[in-house]
Chain A
Amino acid sequence: MFNKIHDNIFRALNSDFLYSFKHSPVAIVSFIVALTLVLGAVLAPFYAPHNPFDPATLNLMNGFSAPMKPNEFTGETFLLGTDDQGRDVFSTILYGMRISLFVGFAAVTFAMVLGVSLGLIAGYVGGWLDALIMRIADVQLTFPGILVAMLIFGIAKGFTPIDQRDQMAIWVLIIAIGLSEWVQFARVVRGATLVEKNKEYVQAARLNGRRSGGILIGHILPNVLGSVLVIATISLALAIIAEATLSFLGVGAPPTKPSLGTLIRIGQGYLFSGEWWILLFPAVTLLALALSVNLLGDWLRDALNPKLK
């Protein structure tokens, strides 16, 4: 058993994949940045100076403290300053990133499951079902993703009782963003499925009495996963930005549980009154997060498909 694991690790270390990673400075830097941000967000409760979601710890007197300067009333010092309600910006960024990342990952997973299933079915079954799925996808592509998400968000809001809106907001966000991104997955998976299903190993499986479901999951799915992984990474960056956009527009995460987008929305109100840090730091974090994930996705695409370059 140990030998087998050792063997696998050895193979992975020597693989072309890792070689390409080691020889791409952009990939290494993006990976480090993305990993730091994700770990920083995930582990936030263990080291963040404040819990911005707990109103009891807030002191309004601390409001508008500049970074690294003692507050004129309380004398407390904050690394990245505080916002209007006296919340520590550093902590709100960490906690905001948790929400942004959670929404991003969950939305992409949702889009992936939906898109991959529909893509596999459309590609494998073909005929009118294929036509139907792909026409729906085409129609959806003609609307901007944000518009679709806002539409879904608006409809959902109408059906939710007021006292549960803040609770529901995150889940509605996930579904809204997920529904606006499944098309990419469906299209790519359908294309890959069309190629794979005509390969002789699929014919051999059919000859050997395998049923369609078994062939789809056992044979075709593992062979289209490579391209799915690439889109998932790029979609993650898009989903994070989409979430920020929605929250910025005020239809996303509520101010009591701010995501990066909500923080930027709060901050832009104070940009011209001198409190620049409330806007700048969340914005820079969002930029770093989205950019590093996106660059990682770009590299992944090249590494998995050397011919595409």
Chain B
Amino acid sequence: MKKRTLVKVRNLDRLFDVSKPLLNRIIEREERKILRAVDDVSIDIEEGETFALVGESGSGKSTVAKMVVGLLPPTKGSIEIDGIDLSDKSKVKELRKLRSEIQMIFQDPFASLNPRWRVEKIIAEPIRSFSLEKNEKAIIAKVAELLTLVGLDPSDGRKFPHEFSGGQRQRICIARALASKPKFIVCDEPTSALDVSVQAQILNLMKDLQDEFSLTFLFISHDLSVVRHMANRIGVMYLGRIVEISNSKDLFENPKHPYTKMLLDAIPDLEMSGKNRNPIEGEIPNPIDPPKGCTFHPRCPFVNERCRKEIPMPIEKDGSIITCHGVEEGRIGKEQGA
């Protein structure tokens, strides 16, 4: 049974101008520098699933997240959520309604809450802003309900953010995100600032809430084990492009793109205790001046002439979407079997 597609991202591009000011450029005779943070990204997210984007720093995963929630306009491409194009200015009313259904949970629980506001005011902000409750009394009741929902006490609403630990703050952020009854929540590294035991609490809470309110998550993370735990489907990003989209299980058991394989090999794992590994060579190139052809080719063990010249296009294979000449030609899949 195929579920409804809630989020449809098509050919998304995002450029950043990172050149020096005009005067400096003229004096130092430098060219404009353009950073292509996101390059031709297309994703479909089904209703009720958790889609994860993983990648190392500079892969563009957070930029995708910001564009999907509408914090950053795309340079090119389209984002459609619940059938409405985010850039369609003619549907003002629908867009405002849609905004209340998209929420975001941020990475840093210390920066994502206004330090001068009481928790109850923070959580009530979406309710007031979108006029979701009729009177003050209903808002107070709703805030208390949300606080209980995320495992805090209704009396905590009187406190200020600095009176809470990192994990509790992230609960407050989740309560705020739920306040506008969203359908779709983008989680940008929601646990990377937390300790493992607290991370477990937050991940469990997010899973419970997803079941209870049938939420759809776009989950951004660099931590593959967290992604494995949370996601149904995973997209792997490298230098602004998606190199592989697979079901979570397939990706971990049978990674197809050489970069995915490399990432999986690199994770330090409890299972590796007492064993040696062969680390992968090289580092991520400078995204301002990415390699020609397939951006992964300088680190790829299966590189050939075509990879150095031609940018690969995504192809579908065994239910996954792969962007690799080697896989397309059948070079890479075979070698692994041998």
Q: How far is the CB of A257 from chain B (nearest CB, A)?
A: 42
> Given A200-B106, A200-B107, A207–B71 Cβ distance below 8 Å?
yes
- B70 close to A223 (CB less than 8 A): no
- A208 close to B111 (CB less than 8 A): no
Which candidate, B78-86, B96-104, B254-262, B292-300, is the interface stretch facing chain A? B96-104
> Which chain B residue shows the least CB distance to A211?
B129
Could you give, for residues 175-216 of chain B, a 1 whenever the CB lies within 8 Å of some chain A CB and a 0 otherwise? 010001000000000000000000000000000000000000
A219 to B112, CA, bound (A): 12
- A208 close to B125 (CB less than 8 A): yes
- A201 close to B180 (CB less than 8 A): no
Could you give, for residues 145-163 of chain A, a 1 whenever the CB lies within 8 Å of some chain B CB and a 0 otherwise? 0000000000000000000
Report whether over half of chain A's contact residues are helix, strand or loop; otherwise say mixed.
Answer: helix
* A-B complex: 8 closest residue pairs judged by Cβ atoms: A200-B112, A200-B106, A222-B116, A208-B126, A199-B111, A209-B129, A201-B114, A200-B111
> Which chain A residue shows the least CB distance to B188?
A200
Specify which of A203, A206, A222 lies most central, judged by the most chain B CB atoms within 10 Å of its CB: A203
Could you give, for residues 209-246 of chain A, a 1 whenever the CB lies within 8 Å of some chain B CB and a 0 otherwise? 11000100001001100000000000000000000000
| In the complex, B147 has a CB within 8 A of chain A | no
- B114 close to A219 (CB less than 8 A): yes
| In the complex, A204 has a CB within 8 A of chain B | yes
Point out the residues of chain A lying under 8 angstroms from B71, CB to CB. Answer: 203, 206-207
Point out the residues of chain B lying under 8 angstroms from A200, CB to CB. Answer: 106-108, 111-112
A185 to B103, CA, bound (A): 35
| In the complex, A114 has a CB within 8 A of chain B | no
| In the complex, B302 has a CB within 8 A of chain A | no
Q: How far is the CB of B142 from chain A (nearest CB, A)?
A: 14
Q: How large is the interface on A (under 10, 10 to 19, 20 to 34, 35 or more residues)?
A: 10 to 19
- A204 close to B99 (CB less than 8 A): no
A85 to B180, CA, bound (A): 73
> Which chain A residue shows the least CB distance to B126?
A208
A25 to B113, CA, bound (A): 36
A200 to B108, CA, bound (A): 8
| In the complex, B130 has a CB within 8 A of chain A | yes
Q: List 16 A-B contacts (CB under 8 A).
A: A199-B111, A200-B106, A201-B111, A204-B104, A204-B125, A205-B114, A205-B125, A206-B71, A207-B102, A208-B180, A209-B99, A209-B130, A210-B125, A222-B116, A222-B117, A223-B115
Point out the residues of chain A lying under 8 angstroms from B115, CB to CB. Answer: 223
Of A207, A222, A223, which is within 8 A of B104 by CB? Answer: A207
| In the complex, B69 has a CB within 8 A of chain A | yes
Q: How large is the interface on B (under 10, 10 to 19, 20 to 34, 35 or more residues)?
A: 20 to 34
CB neighbors of B among A92-126 (8 A)? none
A207 to B114, CA, bound (A): 14
Point out the residues of chain A lying under 8 angstroms from B102, CB to CB. Answer: 207
> Which chain B residue shows the least CB distance to A221?
B116
Q: How far is the CB of B122 from chain A (nearest CB, A)?
A: 8
Q: How far is the CB of B131 from chain A (nearest CB, A)?
A: 10
- A207 close to B125 (CB less than 8 A): no
Specify which of B70, B107, B117 lies most central, judged by the most chain A CB atoms within 10 Å of its CB: B117
> Which chain B residue shows the least CB distance to A220?
B114
A219 to B129, CA, bound (A): 13
Q: How far is the CB of A307 from chain B (nearest CB, A)?
A: 15
Q: How far is the CB of B109 from chain A (nearest CB, A)?
A: 9
Specify which of B99, B103, B112, B114 lies most central, judged by the most chain A CB atoms within 10 Å of its CB: B114
A186 to B306, CA, bound (A): 56
Could you give, for residues 235-250 of chain B, a 1 whenever the CB lies within 8 Å of some chain A CB and a 0 otherwise? 0000000000000000
Could you give, for residues 297-335 of chain B, a 1 whenever the CB lies within 8 Å of some chain A CB and a 0 otherwise? 000000000000000000000000000000000000000
Specify which of B99, B102, B113, B129 lies most central, judged by the most chain A CB atoms within 10 Å of its CB: B129
Q: How far is the CB of B104 from chain A (nearest CB, A)?
A: 6
> Given A204-B106, A204-B176, A223–B114 Cβ distance below 8 Å?
yes
- B96 close to A209 (CB less than 8 A): yes
Point out the residues of chain A lying under 8 angstroms from B103, CB to CB. Answer: 207
